[in-house]
Amino acid sequence: MTVVYFVIPCYNEEEVLPETIRRLTEKLTVMIEDGLADDSSRMLFVDDGSKDRTWELIEQFSSENKYVGGVKLSRNRGHQNALLAGLMTAKGKCDCAISLDADLQDDIGVIDEFVRKYEDGCEVVYGVRSSRDKDTAFKRGTAQGYYKFMAALGVDIVYNHADYRLMGKRALDALAEYKEVNLFLRGIVPLIGFRSDYVYYERSERFAGESKYPLKKMLKFAVDGITSFSVKPLKIISNVGIISCLLSVIFFVYALISFFSGSSVAGWASIMCSIWFLGGMQMLCIGIVGTYVGKIYSESKHRPRFIIDQTIIRDE
């Protein structure tokens, strides 16, 4: 039977933990009774250097409830790193791992569907929000704009999918090959490939406590997502440089005409031409340097160049 690990990053979540553990235990017990999960399935809580009683609670619950497991990070490393720590701990112990937030905003009712898709051969199952009417207009607007912007920059991410997903053993092994430090998991997972599917769900509000993702962290996360997956901004610099150089030719002609028709002040034409031409050249050169920096950047990430799904070799 399928060994399922729930991986739950927690940062200062003492207010929600008892209820989260209660609901997830109930869920897991039903899954085990229904034969959907093995009895060795676990909930793995990752304490991301919390300053409150989160870790004490995890310790206490794990002594009473065999399904509760914990990992404590030495300090706060952020949601993505905490999640990775949990997934890498689960790797090798489970058949598949499901990542979810401690506040259970993501509907745990669809977990059965996740596991069934895994049993049907999907290695990655993405939880996708079917609507965003629970969000504030600001969050909805910025989030959706962001997904579109990422797509325009050529980054392959799943629209309206956050970090609620199932990953099978093989996908976890592949994830371990990505050595980058600036983690943006929702960008990496689609790069892994394998058969995948989507499960749609409604997202509810946090039932207690407050968001651990203030605007500042969210902005950093958004910038990380772009700069870790796209070198297009560097290409844009080159293109602007080329356009400025081309414009300088037009200015050159315009300045010459003004100069000979006597309608310009002395010195204006030469300054005008130099500004456009030199500005354009500089921008173009920065863009060229940027292209190399972009290459160094992608090399330095040591990403795997391929991940094999299947191999067939007959000995005959």
Q: How far is CA 271 from the centre of its chain?
A: 48
Q: Which does 107 bind (CB under 5 to 8 A by kind): Mg ion, ligand UDP, none?
A: none
Residues 27-56, mask of contacts with ligand UDP (x by CB under 6 A): ---------------------x--------
Q: Does 70 bind ligand UDP (CB under 6 A)?
A: no
- Bridge partners of residue 89, in order along the sequence: none
Q: Which of residues 90-129 bind ligand UDP (CB under 6 A)?
A: 101-103, 105
| Residue 150 identity (one-letter amino acid) | M
Q: With contacts defined by CB under 5 A, name the span among 74-82, 98-106, 221-229, 260-268 that binds Mg ion.
A: 98-106
| Helices and strands (H, E) in the chain, number of each type | 10, 7
List 27, 212, 225, 269, residue binding ligand UDP (CB under 6 A): 212
Spatial neighbors of 198 by CB under 8 A, at least 6 apart, are 125, 126, 127, 128, 158, 161
Q: Does 13 bind ligand UDP (CB under 6 A)?
A: yes
Per the structure block, which two tokens stand in for 92? 């090798």
Residue 53 DSSP code = S
Spatial neighbors of 257 by CB under 8 A, at least 6 apart, are none
Q: Does 12 bind Mg ion (CB under 5 A)?
A: no
Please report how close the Cβ of residue 218 comes to ligand UDP at its closest, in angstroms.
7
Q: Does 78 bind ligand UDP (CB under 6 A)?
A: yes
| Residue 56 identity (one-letter amino acid) | E
Q: Which does 11 bind (CB under 5 to 8 A by kind): ligand UDP, Mg ion, none?
A: ligand UDP
Helix (H, G, I), strand (E, B) or coil at 209: coil
Nearest to 73 by CA among 122, 157, 163, 9: 9
Q: Does 165 bind ligand UDP (CB under 6 A)?
A: no
For ligand UDP, the binding residues (CB under 6 A) are 9-11, 13, 48, 76, 78-79, 82, 101-103, 105, 211-213
